[in-house]
Amino acid sequence: MCGIAGFWGNKRWVVDKTVAERMALRIQSRGPDDAGVWNDVAAGLALAHRRLAVIDLSPAGHQPMQSPCERYTLIFNGEIYNHQDLRADLEAQNAAFKWRGHSDTETLLAALRHWGVRGTLERLNGMFAFALWDADDQILFLARDRMGEKPLYYGRSGNNFLFGSELKALAAHPDWQGKIDRDALALYMRHNYVPTPWSIYQGIAKLPPAHFVAIRENGKNVGEPICYWDLGKIAEQGVAAAVGEPVALTDELDGLLRDAVGRRMAADVPLGAFLSGGYDSTTVAALMQAQSERPIKTFTIGFYEKGYNEAQHAKAVAEHLGTDHTELYVTPEEAMAVIPKLPAMYDEPFSDSSQIPTFLVSQLARQHVTVSLSGDGGDELFYGYGRYFKADAIWRKLGRVPVPLRRALASLIAHAPARGLEKAMGFLPRRLRIDHFADRLPKLAEMLAYPDSQSFYRHFVSHAQKPEELVLGAKEPHTILNRSEGMSGLPGLRERMMYLDAMTYLPDDILTKVDRASMAVSLEARVPLLDHRLIEFAWRVPTDYKYRNGKGKWLLRQVLYRYVPKALMDRPKMGFGVPIEHWLRGPLREWAEELLDEKRLREEGFFNPAPIRKMWEEHVSGKRRWHYYLWDVLMFQAWLEHQHD
């Protein structure tokens, strides 16, 4: 795993290699083992690299790496899990092929030279972001893996085209401008992350997953990103052809999982796995142990708050599998000590509070290993999120009610005295009460008003429903969540929810969180469930074999039960989070009050202070629970303070 950065434009900065070195130094934690800079003064291009040595620890893996013919120069972040297969294919086509070492970087460079950019990308099994310079044609190619496991930012700033693994690398360039994009801020307030292709800065974009882009003319001609693996088509074709018998599908999934996990166990450094005790991480750990000659290393973070702790389940799983298990119980004070590190870690506003335990478990694992496998991706592929069940159940009822009647009901509920009704509910038997009724009633009113299932689900996964009322001067852009075109092949809400999450929430929240948390401590995180062959298989599985008997991940669980007893696994799903709701009323109250100060908000000029202060006062008093919304504001405020510093 590594970090890449570079720029194309002002030759003065290219000659001075310290500019590229400084850009790479900003992302040193992504690659503490080695550094390299290469420049083409005539072209005005500089490439920089930081290396975390995992495959071929020798100097033969040093980057930037140039092809023997000197036409191509590559900087690469990631791992190519089928690079040995690609080497065999290349050797079969050219028996005289000679290798300098056994790094996957060298394999990738040779493949790009032989098959071209698109031909190579279609053959790769891996996680990656890379930049390839073609000196003959004077083209710079940028590319990103299929699901967006590795990040890549790019865009023009001043007279230069800049790119890098993280925004902090771009910000180290002398021509960096870094003007905040208020429209992107509005998107952040809706989603708790800035969705692709936007970034928090004007003129700087995220390259979408499964895309590559060609840049020409001294960085002034930036082409449209080109898709080389279309998840939408894969999903539609898979759903249309979804057939199979449970035992045969279970056997096929077992084989695919074994191969995906096995490929991600290749490393020349110590390796382990995150283990929460849930279905996904347990499946990965079980298949690792099944293919290992010695106990694999597993890592778990535990919390003393009962509702947030899964460590005891992870320990029971580890004992059954016979892993070399390490667990660390974290106090609230230790968890909260991570918060000041988050703005520098994430580079742009990001407010999924599970970023805290993700960093802690990465920090724990890095004390023992350099690579750790993660169980992310199972929810989006095999219908695992609890919100899927809730949204589907609610929409099945709402969808039967005519839209005009729903809107009339929404108006009535919106004006109902929610707090008074919640108090009155206290006189009902416990089984008839609805928890947090005052919070839920306004949300129900909003749900009733939506005319179709896709706009309903957009509401369901949104934080701020009207972010333009919070962000001054913003006009919220449209995203895939409010576009229905191109989804006619996914007529069911269940399939649409999984697809939309795989296109948005998975790369921009889950994978961003894992990448930044792990790379902050120089740990490589690998995600076997996102092997593209597994994704293509999952879309060919009938939804009834994913969601069955009121439970998700049915087929995945059938595989897991071959390795772990059902009795050890079947329990309610628990999120990987921290009690932000209570912390904001307690130990974080003073910190939050300072960041949410009305005078401060007004002077900074990004937020409308009135609704934010109202949420804060209602939350502190216990009148309403606004912690998710407030955490969005607080993480932006903390990030903004870090930018000023």
Residues 6+ apart with CB under 8 A from 271: 265, 296, 297, 369, 370, 371, 372, 373
Give the Å distances, CA to CA, from 623 to 512, 620, 633.
33, 8, 19
- Point out the catalytic residue in the list 1, 2, 169, 500: 2
69 is catalytic: no
> To which H or E segment does residue 447 belong?
helix 437-448
Secondary structure (DSSP) of 218-229? TTTEEPPPEESS
H/E/C letters for each residue in 518-577?
A: HHCCCCEEECHHHCHHHHHHHHHCCHHHCCECCECCHHHHHHHCCCCCHHHHCCCCCCCC
Most distant CA atoms of the chain, gap in Å: 84
Residue found by looking up tokens 């902090």 in the block: 168
- Give the type of residue at 217: E
Cβ burial of 489 (10 Å; 0-12, 13-18, 19+) is middle
Four-CA torsion 330, 336, 338, 341, nearest 10 degrees: 180
Q: Cα–Cα distance between 143 and 210 in angstroms, integer?
A: 8
Secondary structure (DSSP) of 304-364? SSGGG--HHHHHHHHHHHT-EEEEEEE-HHHHHTTGGGHHHHHSS----TTHHHHHHHHHH
- Give me the sign of the Cα torsion angle 280, 356, 580, 438: negative
Residue 102 zone, left/alpha/beta (φ > 0; ψ -120 to 50; rest): alpha
Neighbours of 473 (CB within 10 A): 11
Residues that are catalytic: 2
